[in-house]
Amino acid sequence: MPSGPRVRFAPSPTGFFHVGSARSALFNWLLARQSPEGRFILRIEDTDANRNREEWVDGIITAMAWLGLDLDEGPFRQSDNAAAHTAATQALLEGGYLYYCDCTGEDVAARKGENKTPGYDGYCRERALARSATTALRFTTPRDGVTVVHDLIRGDVEFANRTIDDFVVAKSSGAVLYALANVTDDRNDRITHVIRGEEHLPNAPKQMMLWSALNAVSGDEVPLPLYAHLPLLVNEQRKKLSKRKDPVATESYRDQGYLAPAFVNYLALLGWSPRGGEEIVPLGTIIEQFRLEDVSHSPAFFDVKKLSHINGEYLRALSVEDFIEACTPWVAPWTSSWRPTDREVPWSPSAFDPALFARVAPLVQERVATLGEVPAMVAFFFSTEAPMDDAAFDKTVRNDPLAQALLGAAVERFGEIPWESTQLHQATIELGEAMGLNLRKAQAPIRCAVTGTLVGPPLFESLEYLGRDKVIERLRAALARCSA
């Protein structure tokens, strides 16, 4: 018997690493980390050759490494265990648990006629067919009684055996299907807990039947694992997250600049809550307090706004030095071992000034929710011309003669005062007062002319760091733009 929990995460490499899969991986990992003897195993379920792609395998492994979900065993590939799957099939056949079937879907539908009850009708159970190029192997399920799944989250879930059809375990080609392959591997790995999404709950009674049958034919009484089926993840409409409509790819959140600790913190809250109800929870506390029995069975809302809020809190908790380092893939990707795959930095390597960015970073750190927001926030520092928001410029400068007059006055005033943020601040107040404008309205056209937008880091510190010559040059360029 294993002395600690042995859990496995067994994804299929058929697409991007879904956030639901990331949550399942995390909950398995948390259970394993609660015991020194715990073991977290990664097994790639790659037996569906028509749908699997090697880049999806790499994506799973890379995303899990980014999240910090370190492995104790693996990654293994289910396809490497084909011999064990075939042996299990033969043992079950010889033990009387399987039978050959040559029915096609059309055959079954024709026999049923108007009877729309789903599933196979058991036609070949007593036909004693021999193996052939057209026969698959089906498992003989009990026709009476119930199978009870003892679920740590949902309690006892009963399945009437008469509703479980004689399911196929191996194709006519001999290829063993997921249900038997999965159970064979779980038994051989001595898995103690099966933690997965609730969509797999209907598979549980079939897997329990296979497990019991393999125990019987092998003489190896491997204890059935404990089951925990995690709640569904839903969107704002409380509908299941859609791969086509919802942002579900874990890799995309890394590209956007979410910190791995923040993402893990948020994933842990999807169906589970720490004591006290805090949102920002250290990983050590999550490991200590996590219990499968405390996971809710109600659907969990994947709230990107809440995730962004949590990520912003993590960013602000970083030291300035760590924040600068964390920004590197987004502001100077040419110096980074990893870089986002979905964007390009809006300046050339020669235009980027690391020393200037280090001065600006504290101003930005307080205002971004993700690292991916940083380049737009600081682009005006490293561009020859301000990257202009045309709509903002038209509204704030081009269509406002008073704003243009203020810019003209600012050109004169900024050319004579000491170049320091407090002096710039005071000068702008005075320029605005002379024209009947409060500070907010006085600084808006200056910000737009210099930075190209109406949002960004504190204006007067930004002007100081950008330098007198560039600021005045951009103020004049904005006035010229109005005349063009």
Give the integer Cα–Cα distance in Å for 358 and 360: 6
| Residue whose structure tokens are 């200037």 | 356
The distance of Cα 288 from the centroid of its chain, to the nearest Å, equals: 23
Give the integer Cα–Cα distance in Å for 380 and 462: 10
Q: Is 243 a catalytic residue?
A: yes
Closest CA to 119 of 101, 145, 96: 101
Closest CA to 342 of 270, 413, 408, 252: 252
Enter the tokens of residue 160.
């009437």
Give the integer Cα–Cα distance in Å for 387 and 346: 9
How much is the CA Rg of the chain, to the nearest whole Å? 31
User: Cβ of 58: how many Cβ atoms within 10 Å?
Assistant: 11
What residues form DSSP beta bridges with 228? Answer: 195
Enter the tokens of residue 378.
């600081």
Q: Which of 171, 239, 240, 243 is catalytic?
A: 243
Which residues are marked as active site?
243
